[in-house]
Amino acid sequence: MGLIKFIFSKAFLMQLLLALIVLVILGFAFMFWLSSSTNHDERIAVPDLSKMSLSLVKQELDNANLNYIVIDSSNYNPDYPTYSVIEQNPAAGKFVKENRKIYLVLNPSGYREIAIPALVGRTQRQVEPTLLALGFKVGRIDLRDHISEDEVLELRHNGTTLKEGDRLRKMSVIDLVVGNGKDNYYNNATEDSVDIDDSINEDEELEDAGF
């Protein structure tokens, strides 16, 4: 009778209730730990973000529980939409942890501008490779009377003469004005000399004829 009386006593019931509360708390704590440890090494495949706008990137990465950071704008690529993803790190298909940051490089709005170096006075053989290496295109070659053959006298873009330091977008077409090796002063002097010789010959012929 004493045991039954103790079981139904207020003190025992309070201890039993406290024990149940502790068990419930421990149970929740165990479940939380189990869930955390199970997902701790879970890997997520990085989606392919190529050519996506930032709004689509955000939507795609939110669905995958991933984040992103834009780190740079690359050289312009006409095959990609403006301000779309042109590079990503980690690459598509790599497995990463949840909330990993994906680093993005975006396609700019156009080719970058490049300064024109000091090229006037150099030879055409020197200037053309330099322009191509900078990312320009060489257009028309116009010849001009000048004593130095193959010397570049002017650089032009759309009819406008370019100066050192002027800036043009990459892939712009630049025309060259090049010397042809003929001295204009010498040619004019030669023509004047021929005219004088012709005049002298005519005078001599008139004298011989008795005029």
CB 155 within 8 A of CB 124: no
Q: Name beta bridge partners: 178.
A: 143, 152
Identify the domain boundary among 59, 89, 106. Answer: 106
81 located within any domain = yes
Write down how long the chain is. Answer: 211
| pLDDT block averages, 10 residues each, the chain of length 211 | 63 77 84 64 88 95 95 86 94 93 93 95 97 97 95 97 96 97 64 53 54 51
Say how many C-beta atoms besides its own lie within 10 A of residue 122's C-beta.
Answer: 15
- Residue 204 has what pLDDT? 56
Domain boundaries, position 159: 113-180
Q: Looking at the structure, do residues 127 and 99 belong to the same domain, yes or no?
A: no
Asked if residue 98 and residue 50 are part of one domain, the reply reads: yes
CA 66 to chain centre: 25
What pTM was computed for the model? Answer: 0.54
CATH number at residue 91: 3.30.10.20
Question: In this structure, is residue 187 part of a structural domain?
Answer: no
Q: Is 17 domain-assigned?
A: no
Per-residue pLDDT at 179: 96
Is 67 within a domain?
yes
Tell me, yes or no, whether 120 and 92 share the same domain.
no
- Tell whether omega for the bond before 81 is within 30 degrees of 0, i.e. cis: no
Task: Quote the tokens at residue 187.
Answer: 């040619």
Q: Please check whether residues 72 and 120 belong to one and the same domain.
A: no
Which residues contact residue 83 at a Cβ distance below 8 angstroms, ignoring those fewer than 6 apart? 53, 54, 106, 107, 108, 109
Residues 90 and 146 in one domain: no
122 with 170, same domain?
yes
User: Is residue 46 a contact partner of residue 92, using CB atoms and an 8 Å limit?
Assistant: yes
Same domain (yes/no): 56, 78: yes
Give me the amino acid identity at 176: L
The confidence score (pLDDT) of residue 194 equals 47
Give the integer Cα–Cα distance in Å for 18 and 25.
11
Domain count, the chain: 2
- Examine the domain organization and report whether 100 and 140 are in the same domain: no
Phi, psi for residue 58 in degrees, rounded to 5: -60, -45
Give the pLDDT of residue 185: 54
3-state secondary structure of 89: strand
* Structural domain includes residue 168: yes
**Structure confidence by residue, pLDDT tens digits, 18-63:** 888 888 888 888 777 766 655 555 789 999 999 999 999 999 999 9
